[in-house]
């Protein structure tokens, strides 16, 4: 981080702190004046503290969002004067979203909002700027976003396996959100024990399966399913990036079938769905009569393990045959 960036961050922190303190004092004064004479002092204090914090937080975010948006509008008008500069700016925001280092890629920064770290990461000067810029510029079908995915999948950008896995998941999410139907042909793992007790595994290609959804729903808090509407065919996506056991779910209320999907590019993934507390929570919430678990994997995965029996697999090359996922044809990781 440059000396200028550090000074700018410190200045913004002081401005924001003053704003929050001023707003909190204003809210407390307003609420204290409006309290009924019959309320006790402790009730007034408790009410004021809770509502003041929420009001101040909402007010701060609105105020900060307005300033960031105005500054970004000015930057766009004054500095993004060519299509190339527009693309370079969007490309920088792609790298912010995926939190991966910039190497030889051409980028252009709004230095009032962003900076490049010593680790070559593009970072926001304040967290709210990241969310606002991603919301404004990151259309999944935009050419710059598609080019980024192509570069990662074809190894033009060198990243760790963990980073590639995260970006693959994001690409699949982005693609699913542009549609309302997924047609795939998974394979099923089965196993039988021979006379010596040795398990013999079979990997059988199944008929095509169609997953359709009318709405997209999100699991906001970890494992909190209370806000999910189980009456509609749904694509259900956890908000948390570190959500355990599965990456997304399809729910079919007509057949009461829950389908859990997990993406991995490891050669030896571990299956934890059948015995997981998460499966129990889904059972208690939607009362499914059938559940299936589907892996999206590389060709070299090892399915010769008992915990994979009766689970389904789709390899990345097979998924690439679906026109929805054309970019996966370049996946060589």
**DSSP one-letter string for 234-298:** EEEEES-TT-SS-SEEEEETTTTEEEEEEE--SSS----STT-HHHHHHHHHH--SEEEEEEEE-
Domain co-membership, 85 together with 179: no
Among 91, 119, 138, the domain boundary falls at: 138
Domain co-membership, 54 together with 189: no
Domain co-membership, 14 together with 74: yes
- Cβ contacts of 225-228, under 8 Å, gap ≥ 24: 225/281, 225/282, 225/285, 225/286, 226/285, 228/285, 228/286
Q: In this structure, how many other beta carbons lie within 10 angstroms of the beta carbon of residue 40?
A: 9
Among 138, 158, 183, the domain boundary falls at: 138
Q: For 6-25, how does the pLDDT look when each residue is reduced to its tens digit (9 = 90+)?
A: 555 554 545 455 555 555 56
Please indicate, yes or no, if residue 143 is contained in any of the structural domains. Answer: no
The range of the structural domain enclosing residue 307 comes to 172-330
pLDDT in the model for residue 11: 46
Is residue 172 within 8 Å of residue 265, measured between CB atoms? Answer: no
Q: For 96-107, how does the pLDDT look when each residue is reduced to its tens digit (9 = 90+)?
A: 999 999 988 899
Domain co-membership, 81 together with 194: no
Please indicate, yes or no, if residue 234 is contained in any of the structural domains. Answer: yes
Domain co-membership, 125 together with 227: no
- Exposed e or buried b per residue across 96-122, where buried means at least 16 C-beta atoms within 10 angstroms of its C-beta: bbbebbbeebebbbbeebbbbeeeeeb
Predicted confidence band at 50 (pLDDT cuts at 50, 70, 90)?
A: low
Is residue 293 within 8 Å of residue 260, measured between CB atoms? Answer: yes
Please indicate, yes or no, if residue 189 is contained in any of the structural domains. Answer: yes
Among 94, 113, 138, the domain boundary falls at: 138
Average pLDDT over all residues of the chain: 84
Mean pLDDT of 314-330: 92
- Spatial separation of the C-alpha atoms in residues 76 and 110, rounded to whole Å: 9
Please indicate, yes or no, if residue 255 is contained in any of the structural domains. Answer: yes
Domain co-membership, 75 together with 178: no
Please indicate, yes or no, if residue 155 is contained in any of the structural domains. Answer: no
Please indicate, yes or no, if residue 167 is contained in any of the structural domains. Answer: no
Domain co-membership, 128 together with 237: no
Q: In sequence order, which residues have a C-beta less than 8 Å from that of residue 81 and are 6 or more positions away?
A: none
Predicted confidence band at 225 (pLDDT cuts at 50, 70, 90)?
A: very high
Helix (H, G, I), strand (E, B) or coil at 93: helix
Residue 189, strand partner residues: 203
pLDDT in the model for residue 266: 77
Please indicate, yes or no, if residue 166 is contained in any of the structural domains. Answer: no
Q: For 254-281, how does the pLDDT look when each residue is reduced to its tens digit (9 = 90+)?
A: 999 999 999 998 766 677 788 888 899 9
pLDDT in the model for residue 47: 43
pLDDT in the model for residue 38: 47
Q: In this structure, how many other beta carbons lie within 10 angstroms of the beta carbon of residue 288?
A: 19
Return the residue matching tokens 């997209």: 216
Instruction: Please tell me the chain's helix, strand, coil percentages from 3-state DSSP, rounded to the nearest 5.
Output: 45, 20, 35
Domain co-membership, 124 together with 176: no
Domain co-membership, 92 together with 16: yes
Predicted confidence band at 44 (pLDDT cuts at 50, 70, 90)?
A: very low
pLDDT in the model for residue 49: 53
pLDDT in the model for residue 22: 58
pLDDT above 50: residue 253: yes
Q: How many domains does the chain have?
A: 2
Domain co-membership, 197 together with 307: yes
pLDDT above 90: residue 305: no
Domain co-membership, 312 together with 256: yes
Please indicate, yes or no, if residue 76 is contained in any of the structural domains. Answer: yes
pTM, two decimal places:
0.78
Domain co-membership, 197 together with 293: yes
Q: Minimal CA–CA distance to 331: which of 315, 316, 313, 314? A: 316
């Amino acid at each position: 981080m440059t000396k200028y960036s550090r000074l700018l961050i410190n200045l913004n922190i002081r401005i924001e702190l003053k704003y929050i303190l001023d707003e909190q004092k204003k809210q407390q004064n307003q609420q204290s004046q409006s309290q009924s004479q019959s309320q006790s002092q402790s009730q007034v204090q408790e009410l004021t503290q809770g509502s003041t914090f929420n009001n101040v937080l909402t007010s701060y975010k609105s105020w900060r969002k307005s300033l960031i948006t105005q500054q970004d509008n000015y930057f766009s008008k004054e500095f993004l004067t060519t299509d190339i500069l527009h693309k370079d700016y969007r490309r920088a925001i792609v790298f912010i979203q995926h939190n991966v280092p910039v190497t030889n890629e051409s980028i252009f920064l709004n230095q009032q909002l962003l900076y490049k770290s010593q680790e070559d990461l593009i970072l926001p000067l304040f967290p709210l700027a990241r969310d606002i810029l991603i919301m404004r510029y990151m259309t999944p079908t935009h050419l710059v976003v598609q080019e980024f995915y192509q570069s990662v999948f074809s190894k033009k950008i060198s990243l760790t396996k963990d980073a590639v896995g995260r970006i693959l998941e994001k690409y699949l999410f982005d693609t699913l959100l542009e549609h309302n139907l997924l047609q795939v042909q998974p394979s099923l793992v089965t196993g039988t024990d021979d006379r010596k007790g040795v398990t013999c595994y079979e990997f059988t290609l199944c008929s095509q399966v169609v997953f359709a959804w009318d709405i997209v729903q999100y699991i906001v808090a970890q494992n909190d399913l209370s806000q999910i509407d189980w009456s509609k065919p749904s694509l259900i996506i956890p908000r948390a990036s570190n959500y355990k056991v599965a990456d997304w779910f399809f729910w079919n209320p007509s057949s009461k079938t829950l389908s859990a999907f997990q993406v991995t590019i490891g050669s030896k993934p571990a299956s934890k769905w059948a015995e997981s507390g998460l499966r129990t929570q889904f059972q208690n919430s939607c009362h499914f009569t059938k559940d299936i678990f589907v892996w999206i994997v590389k060709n070299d995965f090892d399915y010769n393990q008992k915990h994979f029996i009766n689970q389904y697999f789709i390899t990345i090359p097979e998924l690439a045959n679906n026109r929805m996922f054309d970019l996966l044809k370049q996946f060589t990781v």
